Structure 1
Amino acid sequence: MKILVVEDQDRLGRFLLQGLSECAYTVSWVRTCTAASDSLVETHYDVIVLDLGLPDGDGLDLLKRWRQSGFKEPVLILSARDGVQDRVKGLDLGADDYLPKPFSLEELLARVRSLVRRQSTVKQVVLEHAGIKLDLLSHTVQVNGAPVDLTSREYALLEVFMQNQGRILPRTLISEKIWASHFDVDTNLLDVYMSRLRSKLETQGKPIFKTVRGVGYQLM
């Protein structure tokens, strides 16, 4: 399980890094809003532990942008702001849990385990979006009820997008998930597969994928 800790206080950051690592979690620790957003683009995390008072912005504003951009990772807020209205605002903006400071490591770990369990129980077997239905068990795809024949690579590519609906995915991230190493992939190969996928899925003339120049692609 991968956990991203966003905390600018050195002592607390090291405490969280050590405590979570000792429980066999893979932990990344960053100190700013910018570094946190960069980390989310580069890697999928199972849980994000987010402080609100960060040196380059407010954690609540960061959380709001994440949710608007399509990031669905569970977020546990850690904050000295322990008023009822602060907790309500954090949860309304998309946080999954809120733990006021100071806190015990035991309670933090229990809440992290709860978020991980919750995520594992809500994983879908069938993913649906814009008339596309992808069955993870049978490895079949339908568009508006009609079966679509995809190669294994095309299916894997579509699955990446269906698991990240609405999220802008960088080319490097897509390539790393589809090929063993994106360094071995010709720069045009991803474009070729995207073209094939579009021709098979965009049968009604309505665009499904958006090309974000200089970045990657997005399933709209």
Structure 2
Amino acid sequence: MKILVIEDQERLGRFLQQGLSECSYTVTWVRNCADASDALAESSYDAIVLDLGLPDGDGLDLLRRWRASGFKEPVLILSARDGVQDRVKGLDLGADDYLPKPFSLEELLARVRSLVRRQSTVKQVVFEHAGIRLDLLSHTVQMNGKPVDLTSREYALLEVFMQNQGRILPRTLISEKIWSSHYDVDTNLLDVYMSRLRAKLEVPGKQLFKTVRGVGYQFI
């Protein structure tokens, strides 16, 4: 499980990183809004621990932008703002939980487990876009109601795009999802699979996969 911690205080950030890592979470710790945005553009996370008082902006504004763009990952706000109205505002803007400072590590870990567990139980199993229907349970793909025969790699690649429709996905992120490791994206293997997927799903005059030069691909 991957956790993104956004906390500008060095002592607390290291404390959270160590505590979560000791519970077998893979933790990325950043200290400001800009680095948080970069981290989310490069990888996906199972949960996010978000401080509000950041040096380059307010965590609530960051959360508002995430939700407006369709970002659905669970967010736990961790903040010294412990008034009732502060908690209500954070939850109304899309936070899944709110833990005021000071806090116990045991409670934070319990809340993170709850968020991850809740997220896994409501995971979407059917994705539809542009006439394509992908069913995770039956492991099938249809295009305008007709079955499409995909290899396991092609299916995994399409799944990544269907789950991130509209987002520009870096080549490194796509490769990590498909090959379960940091793949050498300088090779043309990803491009080969993209070409195969396009051949099976795109029709003349209808582009589905946009190449973003120097970055990666976008499912439009």
TM-score range, shorter chain: 0.7 to 0.9
Match of 1:94 in 2: 94
SS across alignment from 2:99: strand
Asked if 1:84 is matched to 2:95, the reply is: no
**TM-score, scaled relative to structure 2:** 0.87
Normalising by structure 1, what TM-score? 0.87
* Shift in CA distance, 213/185, structure 1 to aligned 2, threshold 3 Å: closer
Structure-1 residue corresponding to 2:184: 183
Q: Superposition RMSD on alpha carbons, in Å?
A: 2.3
CA distance in 2, matches of 1:169, 1:97: 28
Matches within 5 A, 1:122-201: 122-179=122-179, 181-183=182-184, 186-187=187-188, 189-201=189-201
The alpha carbon displacement at 1:116 in A equals 0.9
**Matching of residues 12-27 of structure 1 within 5 Å:** 12-27=12-27
Q: Structure 2 CA distance, aligned partners of 1:161 and 1:145?
A: 19
Q: Is the 8 A contact 2:127 2:133 kept in 1?
A: yes
Secondary structure of the corresponding residue to residue 23 of structure 2: coil
Is this contact kept in 2: 1:69–1:168, CA < 8 A? Answer: no
Does structure 1 retain, via aligned residues, the 8 Å contact 2:172–2:185? no
Unpaired runs of at least 5, structure 2: none
Q: Give the CA deviation at 1:82.
A: 2.4
> Partner letter of residue 27 of structure 1?
V
- Residues 1:56 and 2:38 are matched in the alignment: no
Unaligned runs of 5+ in 1: none
Does the aligned pair in 2 maintain the 1:2–1:25 contact within 8 Å? Answer: yes
CA distance in 2 between partners of 1:192 and 1:31 (Å): 38
How many Å apart are 1:185 and its aligned residue?
Answer: 5.2
Q: What is the distance in 1 between the residues matched to 2:2 and 2:176? A: 17
CA deviations on 1:168-207 (whole Å, 9 max, x unpaired) are 21122112323455316524x4334323323322348443
Verify the 8 A CA contact 2:49 2:77 in the aligned structure 1. yes
Size of the aligned set, in residue pairs, is 219
Change (3 A) 1:134 1:6: same
**Paired residues of 1:80 and 1:102 also in contact (CA < 8 A):** yes
